[in-house]
Amino acid sequence: MRSEAEMMQLILTVAQKISQVKAVAMSGSRVNKNVTKDELQDYDIVYIVDDKKTLLENRQWLNAFGQRLIMQTPEETVLWPSELGECFTFLVLFEDGNRIDLTLCPISYIQQWSAGEPMIKILSDPQRLLANLPEPSDNAYQFLSATQRTFNECCNEFWWVSTYVVKGLARGELLYASDHLYTICQKELLRLLSWKAVLQKDKINVGKNYKYLFNFLPEKQQTFENLLSFSSIDACWQSLFATQTSFHDEAKDFAQIAGFEYINSTAEKIIAYTQQHYELANNRD
């Protein structure tokens, strides 16, 4: 696997050989000093170009980066179109394990691109096209503290969607039930845990999909991971019960610490509702 130094040199060398590239920048986790580095991190690279069309019509220049294992170009897909406006992205995993997310950004689109990238490091900019960019900061990724209103909405969403999980399990619809349980209910539990972490640490970056959350709450990690069992209808029922219990306990504790109001009766009614339908489903079996 090529080293970071080798990859950075290659990225700049390729850019120097392409006349259309006028500046090079890097964004993402490799710019963030607060993120632990490892060999699986992407190289989020931006080539500022004066002629994107030519580089898209003839893509032989990509071969200079090495043998590709797989590549995706979101702007050319129907199922997953990019929302990067005038930019064009090559997502490339190479055979040696390195990955580059390479964006071509027209000079005329620098302001729009940079507005969505709080972490930017300039690698090459002889014409000072990127001179006015602010210093890299991960403040945009900081998880904000809760308010009484957002806490209420989180709790309401959790208990409301719990009934969808119950409905799916009662009908034997494992895919429907497990999807709602993880993507909504357990994500609200992760949101709640993040708010608790904020109370302890003031400012935190939980990362994409909460991947750094348990760096701040290591004692909660195993408990949460034990909830992730959806291999059968019964396993999903047990996960739902355990998730409800965990959320209820965490919400009561958080409300007390934060000085918020928490409506215990709603939780207790939904837990009873879940138990009732679980027993009905088992009796039918």
Contact predicate 65/14, CB 8 Å: yes
Phi and psi, residue 104, nearest 5°: -95, 115
pLDDT tens, residue by residue, 21-56: 999 999 988 887 777 778 888 999 999 999 999 999
- Predicted confidence at residue 200, as pLDDT, reads 83
pLDDT tens, residue by residue, 88-144: 999 999 999 999 999 999 999 999 998 888 789 999 999 999 988 877 666 666 777
Conformation bin of residue 274: beta by default, left when phi > 0, alpha when psi is -120 to 50: alpha
pLDDT tens, residue by residue, 134-188: 776 666 667 778 999 999 999 999 999 999 999 999 999 999 999 999 999 999 9
pLDDT tens, residue by residue, 233-276: 999 999 999 999 999 999 999 999 999 999 999 999 999 999 99
- Predicted confidence at residue 275, as pLDDT, reads 97
- Predicted confidence at residue 139, as pLDDT, reads 65
Give residue 68's identity as a one-letter amino acid code: R
From residue 22, how far is each of 68, 186, 250 by CA, in Å? 25, 45, 52
Average pLDDT over residues 68-93: 89
With CA atoms as reference, report the closest residue to 166 among 224, 227, 244, 245.
244
**Which spans in 21-97 are helix H?**
52-57
Instruction: Give the SS3 label for residue 19.
Output: coil
Q: Give the separation between CA 92 and CA 100, rounded to whole angstroms.
A: 5
Contact predicate 17/30, CB 8 Å: no
> How much of the chain is helix, strand and coil, in % rounded to 5?
55, 15, 30
Phi and psi, residue 169, nearest 5°: -70, -40
Angle between helices 218-225 and 187-201 (to 10 degrees): 170
How many C-beta neighbours within 10 Å does residue 124 have? 17
| Dihedral Cα 230, 233, 238, 239, nearest 10 deg | 30
Pull the structure tokens for residue 55: 């580089």
Please tell me the pTM assigned to this model.
0.80
With CA atoms as reference, report the closest residue to 219 among 253, 173, 185, 267.
253
- Predicted confidence at residue 269, as pLDDT, reads 97
Domains within the chain, CATH numbers bracketed: 4-140 (3.30.460.10), 142-284 (1.20.120.330)
Polymer length in residues for the chain: 285
| Beta sheet of 120-124, edge-to-edge order | 68-72, 88-94, 99-106, 43-49, 21-27, 120-124
